[in-house]
């Protein structure tokens, strides 16, 4: 009888991590960054049905890259967790940190399981606070690791290059228009140093967690004419005032 081929646990975990990383890198990037009145999510996504950015609960949103069926299952599980916890205890007990811990346990269990492949997904869970200092952004990797990010984060695609670009240019207290323009510019960059692409509103999925929104639910999508105006050369003050227009937005 032949001897089974042996692979060390360290090598097996490294191979699984590399497998997941390659799958995630094939997807288009998602950028999340803070601005004066909240957190903005910008994804390169031409589909209006298969969202990369979604609402989870009152002040919590979710963004993901990778295999859609896998991160959609995680999103649905997160919504159920939040609804159950908010109903059983109090709505204030539903936090991004708690949700990130749940996702970390799920991803970690799947990653270490011998019987199934690791999820090819990378997640962002964000919560808008009463003040900018209270904002929370967590990035989760396929092995279940949780990283507490500050101000900006990128997942998928050319995340390293885009992250460096954002880190050098992002400023605390930016207006929504300024933050959105920075995010789009970072997504449009050529990783090889060539001419940046021109991204149109139809190629983008944009949403915000708006701390000054009077409703309990702080999540809203930015669509159509409003997104076009924000991406134009209007003044930041005029563009931020435009955020109040309900006809061009869509709640999750």
Domains, the chain: 27-244 (3.60.20.10)
Per-residue pLDDT at 15 = 86
pLDDT for res 198: 87
Q: What per-residue confidence (pLDDT) applies to 69?
A: 95
pLDDT value at residue 55: 97
Binned average pLDDT, 10 residues per bin, the chain of 252 residues: 68 87 90 96 92 96 96 97 96 96 96 88 97 96 95 92 91 93 90 80 95 95 92 55 52 56
Res 5: pLDDT: 66
Output the pLDDT for position 114: 77
DSSP secondary structure letters along the chain: -PPPPP--HHHHHHHHHHHHHHHHHTSPPEEEEEETTEEEEEEE---SSS-SEEEEETTEEEEEEE-HHHHHHHHHHHHHHHHHHHHHS-GGG--HHHHHHHHHHHHHHHHH-SSSPPP-EEEEEEE--SSGGG-EEEEE-TT--EEEE-SEEEESSSHHHHHHHHHHH--TT--HHHHHHHHHHHHH--TTS-PPP---GGGEEEEEEETT-SSS--EEEE-HHHHHHHHTT--HHHHHHGGG-GGGEE--
Global pTM value: 0.88
CA 106-111-112 angle, 5° bins:
105
Residue 187 has φ and ψ, to the nearest 5°, of: -70, -30
Q: What is the pLDDT of residue 2?
A: 61
């Amino acid at each position: 009888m032949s001897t089974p081929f042996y692979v060390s646990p360290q090598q097996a975990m490294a191979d699984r991590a590399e497998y997941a990383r390659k799958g995630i890198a094939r997807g288009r990037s998602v950028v999340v960054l803070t601005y004066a009145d909240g957190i903005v999510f910008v994804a390169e996504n031409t589909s209006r049905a298969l969202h990369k950015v979604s609402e989870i609960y009152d002040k919590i949103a979710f963004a993901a890259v990778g295999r859609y069926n896998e991160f959609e299952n995680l999103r649905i599980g997160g919504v159920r967790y939040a609804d159950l916890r908010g109903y059983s205890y109090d709505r204030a007990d539903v936090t991004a940190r708690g949700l990130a811990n749940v996702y970390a346990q799920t991803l970690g269990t799947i990653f270490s399981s011998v019987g199934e492949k690791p999820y090819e997904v990378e997640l962002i869970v964000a919560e808008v606070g009463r003040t900018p200092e209270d904002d929370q952004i967590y990035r989760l990797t396929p092995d279940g690791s949780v990283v507490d990010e500050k101000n900006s984060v990128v997942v998928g695609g050319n995340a390293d290059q885009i992250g460096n670009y954002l880190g050098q240019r992002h400023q605390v207290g930016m207006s929504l228009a300024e933050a959105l323009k920075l995010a789009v510019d970072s997504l449009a960059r050529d990783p090889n140093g060539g001419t940046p692409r021109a991204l149109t509103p139809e190629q983008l999925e944009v949403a915000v967690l708006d701390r000054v929104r009077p409703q309990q639910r702080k999540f809203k999508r930015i669509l159509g004419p409003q997104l076009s105006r924000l991406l134009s050369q209007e003044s930041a003050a005029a563009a931020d005032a435009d955020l109040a227009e309900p006809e061009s937005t869509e709640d999750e």
